[in-house]
Amino acid sequence: MSRLVKLFGQKKENVLNVYCTAGYPELNGTIKIMRSLEKYGADIIELGMPYSDPLADGEVIQASSSKALSNGMTIHVLFDQLKEFRKNIHLPVILMGYMNPVLQYGFENFCREAAAVGIDGLILPDLPEYEFKTEYGAIIKKYGLDFIFLVTPETSEERTKQLDDLSTGFLYAVSSSATTGKDKDFNAVEEYLQRLQSYQLKNPILVGFGIKDKQTFEAACKYANGAIIGTAFIKALENTTDVEVVTKNFLDSILK
């Protein structure tokens, strides 16, 4: 049983997935941030692999990617840093990134190494459904990794159900067709999430984009299994010298 399946078996609601950019704010600080996220209440860690052209990300996460790249973060460096992480970190950990650097690394090599270090799943927003079905999905499955597709308010019911069928772990419901970090009208988001609920999908649903505090987290969780916070946490990490204290204070503000 995958860690994600186990998690959602034990916890049906208020699941908190926190995104952080690998190699930000310090090249060698990622494991400490991950440990702090587990210690202070996150349920899932979504680890962003920095890329020079992150299509779905807003300015804050783009800037964190640029900083991480200038710090020297690469997929090679990341896998090297993650070699021992399962000794201390037991949460599900997902890698989020884009196809270009993964293809440069070698798709099967990437999946093999991700599985070997203990990664649970992948989010690759620019991997098309057709290529997933005809080429890459079998490789992902071979290495026991979950794969999470994204759906938006504009995704039709038929396509949502197709992507739900292809996804394992959970389905990522983008709160609106915009980049990360933008404020959202949560009345419209609630209507969208109620619509998703009516489809009776097989996967749990986590809501991302625009979730930034206790209020938006709780609003997202009303009609979904949980939510994903990224931009707000990256902002909290800016200019800090103590990532553990910042992480504790940030998670306390969401969960307490």
> Buried b vs exposed e over 124-146: b needs ≥16 C-beta within 10 Å?
bbebeeeebeeebbeebeebebb
Nearest to 237 by CA among 23, 1, 11, 6: 23
- Give the distance between the most distant pair of CA atoms in the chain: 48
Distance CA(98)–CA(52), nearest Å, equals: 10
Active-site amino acid positions: 46, 57
Residue 11: Cβ within 10 Å count:
14
Distance CA(186)–CA(61), nearest Å, equals: 22
Q: Return the DSSP state at 32.
A: H
Report the alpha-carbon angle 142-145-150, nearest 5.
120
Report the alpha-carbon angle 125-128-131, nearest 5.
135
Distance CA(135)–CA(150), nearest Å, equals: 19
| 172 touches 150 (CB < 8 A) | yes
